[in-house]
């Protein structure tokens, strides 16, 4: 049977711009709901994703694929619609296109980080390292360059969700101390005295992984969640951001140290 023109397989690429609208009457996702939200009857335990992209055909292709991969998907055509969804719904992860007309994806993530730490995967047509770093510095947890294969998208989503999944408190130390900081490992909460230090989901995940190593070095590969070498290099970006929050002199870190040839380690007080 021939594949529908509005379907995408795991080995086919999602383009930079789809360049055409879906045929009349074709909904953006299998739910067929007007606002792009998954309809009642979907598995309540499935991760709920908010997909924000101004290209309607790309939204339809990605929504269909991700829904069939076991996710619940809500779509938004721009930042304003995404905000409306966020007011009334809870999401496990957001997928945000960077280059949208009007308010860009980066602007949306900056706004989001002022009030929420929901994980964000950025989609971008720009492959330059400076653009990717800018995206990570806004608080995004990962990025994916267009065009990409849907299978890679679903793998990256699964990787982020694994990193931010809660860990039973009994499996890890409850609290570690370094300098003036207390880190509650089980709930990922960092405090400097009475003040809570704001962390992104990616920063929280890195600190939890380092804390569970009990001061032993952790490789970039492990901190990157087993993804490719490009993704490992983004770990350095997150480490530098953490050092700016933790260290008096980030260039000469006292707590979050580089283990040469191994990765990173956290110096824990015993």
Distance CA 258, CA 51 (A): 36
Query: Which residues touch 47 (CB under 8 Å, ≥6 apart)?
Result: 71, 72, 92, 93, 157, 161
Domains of the chain: 48-164 (3.40.50.2300), 169-266 (1.10.10.10)
Tell me: the pLDDT tens digits for 100-112?
Answer: 988 999 999 999 9
Distance CA 153, CA 244 (A): 30
Strand-strand pairing, 181-184 and 189-192? antiparallel
Q: What is the mean pLDDT of each run of 10 residues along the chain (270 residues)?
A: 50 52 40 43 78 94 94 96 93 95 92 91 84 84 89 92 71 78 90 91 91 87 68 85 94 92 85
The tokens describing 155, both together, are: 């793998």
Residue 224: per-residue pLDDT:
83
Residue 186: per-residue pLDDT:
84
8-state DSSP, 171: G
Q: How many CA atoms does the CB half-sphere of 119 hold within 13 Å?
A: 24
Q: Is 57 strand, coil or helix?
A: helix
Query: Which residues touch 17 (CB under 8 Å, ≥6 apart)?
Result: 55, 58, 125
Strand-strand pairing, 195-197 and 181-184? unpaired
pTM score above 0.85: no
């Amino acid at each position: 049977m021939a594949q529908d023109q509005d379907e995408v397989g795991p080995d086919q690429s999602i383009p930079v711009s789809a360049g055409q609208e879906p045929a009349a009457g074709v909904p953006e996702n299998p739910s067929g709901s007007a606002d792009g939200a998954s309809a009642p009857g979907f598995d309540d335990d499935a991760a709920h994703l908010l997909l924000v992209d101004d290209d309607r055909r790309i939204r339809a292709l990605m929504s269909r694929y991700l829904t069939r991969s076991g996710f619940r998907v809500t779509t938004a055509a721009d930042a304003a619609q995404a905000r409306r969804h966020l007011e009334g719904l809870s999401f496990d992860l957001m997928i945000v296109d960077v280059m949208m007309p009007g308010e860009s994806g980066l602007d949306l993530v900056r706004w989001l980080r002022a009030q929420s730490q929901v994980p964000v995967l950025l989609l971008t047509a720009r492959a330059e390292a400076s653009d990717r770093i800018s995206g990570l510095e806004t608080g995004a947890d990962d990025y994916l360059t267009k065009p990409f294969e849907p299978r890679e998208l679903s793998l990256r989503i699964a990787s982020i969700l694994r990193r931010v999944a809660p860990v039973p408190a009994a499996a890890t130390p409850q609290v570690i101390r370094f300098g003036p900081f207390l880190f509650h490992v089980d709930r990922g909460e960092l405090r400097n005295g009475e003040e809570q230090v704001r962390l992104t989901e990616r920063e929280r995940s890195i600190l939890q992984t380092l804390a569970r190593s009990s001061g032993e070095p952790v490789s970039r590969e492990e901190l990157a969640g087993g993804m490719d070498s490009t993704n490992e290099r983004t770990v350095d970006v997150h480490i530098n951001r953490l050092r700016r929050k933790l260290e008096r002199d980030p260039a000469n870190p006292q707590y979050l140290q580089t283990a040469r040839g191994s990765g990173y380690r956290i110096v824990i007080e015993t």
